[in-house]
Structures are given as C-alpha cells and as structure tokens.
Chain A
Amino acid sequence: MQESELWITRIFNDRFSSLGNAALQLVGIHPQARPWANYILMELVVFLFLALLFAFLRARLSVSAPGRLQQTCELFYGFVSGQAESQMGHASARYLSFFGTIFIFILVANMIGLVPVFESPTKYAPVTLGCAMATFIYYNLMGIWTHGFKYILQFMGPKWWLAILMFPVEIVSHLARPLSLTIRLYANMFAGEQVTLVFISLTYLAVPVVFMGLHLFVGLVQAFIFMLLTISYVAGSVSHGH
C-alpha cells in the first residue's frame, strides 16, 4: 500500500526483513516480501530521537545552573503542566507524564515530516489510531483506578431513571472520542502533505514553502489539541463531580 520507500525503509527491508516478519508473526500476520512499513520505521526514529534527547538531558540536569536544553524542556513542562492544572487542578500531577508524552511524541512526529528524508508517521491512519487508542485506554483505566467499579456509574447520568436512556448515548459518545481524535490528526497531516504536493507539482519554486510553513503550524496546533482533549477526557473520567 505504500507508494515509495524512504531510504531507511529500503535499508531495513533489504537487511532486516526476517526481523520484521518475525514481529508480524507474533500477531499472526503472514510473512510478506517487504514487511517494514514507512510509518513503523518513522515512529521508531521519533522514539529513538526522543529517547536520546532525554537521556542527554538527564545527564545534564542541574538545579543551580540549568543549560539551554534543560530550560527549553522546562518550558515544555510548564506549558503541559499549566494546561493540565487549569483543567484538573492539583490532581493532574499523577497523569502529567502521559500528557507530556503524548504531546511531545505527536509534536515531533508531525514535525519530522518537514525534514527532507523523513516523513510524518502521523500521516497514516494506523499511527494516529494507535495514539487515540492509547488515550482511550488510558482515560478509562484511570477512571477505573480512581473510582473502582463505580466508574460505570458515570455512564448512567445524574438520575437513576435516566440510566436506560443515558447509557447508550454515553457509550456512543465515548466511542466517538478515539474516532474523532484519529481522524482529526490523520486528516490534518494527510491534507497538509497533499496540499504541499499539489503546489509542488503546480509551481516548482517558493510557493510550496508557504504550505510547508502552514503544515508546521497545523502540526503544532494539532499536537496541542490532542493533548488538550486527552487532559479533558482524563479530567472527566477521574473527577468526583458526578
């Protein structure tokens, strides 16, 4: 299904295809000729980049004399923590690691598409579905962890006699959440790349840069929106307001 391979995918498919097939067979998919997909490797590249970045940061952490990397990461931390606290209050500290991970991963995954030899893994629906399912499973698990099995009462609505009406409505709206998260991120990234490609084929010079700039902005905004919605869903599921 992929039209062309990046150089890194070509290397992995030529040398390590048996590794890819072994991994696919763990989930029951038959061996294929070229098992590594573009987005799998791009996700791994993003992961390696972030892991190395934060390992580098960890080695240089200092309270008295923070370096530039530490100050930049503190900016990110302050941003995510400010958003979480404005929606959840002080209970947000337990969940901050997930919010920060989602934000940084989706942000870097969107941005890596602008680098010439790479492409955004979030341009493919399976990747955004994975992020949305992670959020879905996480907020339900946090709800069950906080409330126990009384979590199901949140689906029943405010009054007991409304439960029979509220339950299907709540189930459908909860299932619509990962759907909308997936499609929003996927369609934004896909459309951004398609628009850039159309303008590259129409006018060869200079004008596609404007659309790449728009894609950069849209990638930032979409990562922020994903994080904001994740915070909102976790806030809704662990709140004691019901």
Chain B
Amino acid sequence: MTKKLFFVLALLLFASSMLCAQTPGGAAAESPFDLHPVAAGIAMAIASGLCGLGQGKAIASSVEGMGRNPGASAAIQTAMLIGLAFIESLALYTLLIVVLYIK
C-alpha cells in the first residue's frame, strides 16, 4: 500500500514538470490568483506541523524520564527546554523566509 502510494506520488512529481512546461513565460506573475500567500501558508503549515511533532516527541520522552526518575527532574527539565528551543528555531527559520520573500 505504501509502495503504491509512493509510486503514485513519484509519478505525479515527474508528470508535474511536464504539465507545467506547457505555459512558458512565467504564469506566476500573470495568474489571476495571487499564489504568494498560499505558498506562505503551506510552508508555514508544514514547518509548524513537523515542529509540533518533533517537540511532542521531545516532551513525551522527557516527561516519561521524569516519571521514572523524579529526582532528576531539574536536569531533565533543563535538557527539555534546550531541546525545545532548538526545534522551535527550525520553524522560525521558515517564518523568516516567509516574511522575507512574501510582500
């Protein structure tokens, strides 16, 4: 099932370049729909979603560690906050790109 899905997605990826090549001359500027906000929204949504997954995993394992060893809570909490800050900054890099390139 996963292999079939992967195959369909790969086919769509390769076909899309042929489909879009039928309108040379840059349809992006003359499209009636301004697609810049759509791109910004999709980029930010993907970044925030994956960042949320990563942070969820980090918090889950740190809370489980605190449950197993309550005496180490301070050290685990410090490490968890550091890890969360790093993962958060990855989503913020995407926000920076969105702000820089979307007028």
Mask: chain A, 201-232; 1 = CB below 8 Å from B; 0 = not? 00000000000000000000110110010000
Q: Is B45 an interface residue (CB 8 A)?
A: no
A187 to B92, CA, bound (A): 6
Chain B interface helix/strand/loop/mixed: helix
Contact B92 A225 (CB under 8 A): no
A47 CB → nearest B CB, Å: 26
Describe A's contact surface by its main secondary structure.
helix
The reply on B82 being an interface residue by CB < 8 A is yes
Contacting pair B89 A184 (CB below 8 A): yes
Do A186 and B86 have beta carbons less than 8 Å apart? no
Q: How far is the CB of B5 from chain A (nearest CB, A)?
A: 34
Given contact pairs A183-B96, A225-B85, enumerate 13 new A-B contacts (beta carbons under 8 Å).
A183-B89, A183-B92, A183-B93, A184-B89, A187-B92, A187-B95, A188-B89, A190-B96, A191-B92, A191-B95, A221-B85, A222-B85, A225-B86
Contact B86 A188 (CB under 8 A): no
Cβ-neighbour of B92 out of A184, A221, A224, A228 (below 8 A)? A184
A110-144 residues with Cβ-Cβ distance < 8 A to B are: none
B81, B96, B99 interface centre (most CB from chain A within 10 Å): B96
Minimal beta-carbon separation of B100 from chain A (angstroms): 10
Residues of A within 8 A of B99 (CB): 190, 194
How many angstroms between the C-alpha atoms of A206 and B70 in the bound complex? 36
Number of A positions contacting B (CB below 8 A): 14
The chain B residue with its CB closest to the CB of A187 is B92
- Complex: A19 Cα to B9 Cα, angstroms: 62
For chain B, the count of residues having a C-beta within 8 Å of the partner chain is: 11
Of A180, A186, A221, which contacts B81 at CB under 8 A? A221
6 nearest interchain CB pairs?
A187-B92, A184-B89, A187-B96, A225-B85, A221-B85, A191-B92
A187 & B89 in contact (Cβ 8 Å cutoff) = yes
* Docked pose: A146 CA to B93 CA in angstroms: 34
Chain A residues whose C-beta falls within 8 Å of the C-beta of B81 in the assembled complex: 221
A191 to B92, CA, bound (A): 8
**Distance between Cα atoms of A186 and B85 in the complex (Å):** 13
* A190 neighbours in B (Cβ, 8 Å): 96, 99
Complex A-B: 23 CB contacts under 8 Å: A180-B89, A183-B89, A183-B93, A184-B89, A186-B96, A187-B92, A187-B93, A187-B95, A187-B96, A188-B88, A188-B89, A188-B92, A190-B96, A190-B99, A191-B92, A191-B95, A194-B99, A221-B81, A221-B85, A224-B82, A225-B85, A225-B86, A228-B82
Q: Give complex CA distance A222, B89 in Å.
A: 10
Residue of B nearest to A192 (CB): B92
Q: What is the minimal beta-carbon distance from B66 to any residue of chain A, in angstroms?
A: 19
Which residues from 74 to 92 on chain B have a C-beta closer than 8 Å to any C-beta of chain A? Answer: 81-82, 85-86, 88-89, 92
